[in-house]
Amino acid sequence: MELKYVRTRPYPERKVKLIKEFQELLQKYKKYLVFSFENIPANLMQEIRREMRKRNSVVKVIKNTLAKKAIEMLNRNDLKALLDKIEGQIAWIFTNGNLFEITQYLESKRIKLPLRPGLILPQDIIIRKGPTGIRGVSEISDLRAAGMNIRVIDGEIVVWEDFLLGKKGQRLSARDVKVMQIFNINPFEAWPKVKFAFDEGVIIPREILVKPIDKWKEEILQALQGAFNLAVNAAFPTHETVELILQEAYMQALNIAMEAGLPTKDTAEMTLEKALQVAHILSEYGFSMAVSTAIQVAKEIIKEVKNKKPDLITKDLEEIIS
Q: Is 191's pLDDT higher than 80?
A: yes
Residues 78 and 103 in one domain: yes
Residues 183 and 194 in one domain: no
Q: What is the CATH number of the domain that holds 64?
A: 3.30.70.1730
Task: List C-alpha distances in Å: 211 to 102, 107, 207.
Answer: 12, 11, 7
**Pair 116, 203: CB distance under 8 Å:** no
Torsion region of 78: left, alpha or beta (phi above 0 gives left; psi -120 to 50 gives alpha): alpha
Lowest mean pLDDT among 25-34, 135-144, 258-267: 258-267
Residue 200 and residue 226: Cα distance in Å, rounded? 30
Number of structural domains found in the chain: 3
Among the three residues 150, 172, 187, which one is the final residue of a domain in this structure? Answer: 187
Residues 200 and 88 in one domain: yes
- Interval 110-144: pLDDT, tens: 999 999 999 999 999 999 999 999 987 789 989 99
Answer with the residue of higher pLDDT: 6 or 215.
215
Q: Is 33's pLDDT higher than 80?
A: yes
Answer with the residue of higher pLDDT: 53 or 299.
53
Amino acid 308: pLDDT: 53
- What's the average model confidence in pLDDT over 83-89? 95
- Residue 302 domain-assigned (yes or no): yes
Sheet of 90-95, strands arranged across: 58-60, 90-95, 31-36, 193-199, 202-205
Lowest mean pLDDT among 72-86, 129-143, 176-190, 237-251: 237-251
- Interval 204-230: pLDDT, tens: 999 999 988 787 778 788 888 887 788
Residues 202 and 90 in one domain: yes
- Please, is 8 exposed, middle or buried when counting C-beta atoms within 10 Å of its C-beta (0-12, 13-18, 19+)? exposed
Among the three residues 187, 202, 230, which one is the final residue of a domain in this structure? Answer: 187
Amino acid 229: pLDDT: 80
Amino acid 138: pLDDT: 83
Residue 170 and residue 168: Cα distance in Å, rounded? 6
Amino acid 102: pLDDT: 97
Q: Is 175's pLDDT higher than 80?
A: yes
The pTM of the full predicted model, rounded to 2 decimals, is 0.62
Amino acid 4: pLDDT: 56
Residue 183 sits in which domain range?
125-187
Amino acid 282: pLDDT: 57
Amino acid 221: pLDDT: 82
Residue 34 and residue 206: Cα distance in Å, rounded? 10
**Pair 12, 20: CB distance under 8 Å:** no
**Pair 294, 276: CB distance under 8 Å:** yes
- What's the average model confidence in pLDDT over 91-115? 95
- Residue 226 domain-assigned (yes or no): no
Residues 161 and 199 in one domain: no
- In sequence order, the 6+-apart residues with CB closer than 8 A to the CB of 23 are 70, 73, 74
Q: What is the mean pLDDT of the chain?
A: 83
Calculate ∠ Cα 60-42-110, nearest 5°.
Answer: 95
Please give the helix or strand (H or E) that residue 98 lies within, else none. Answer: none
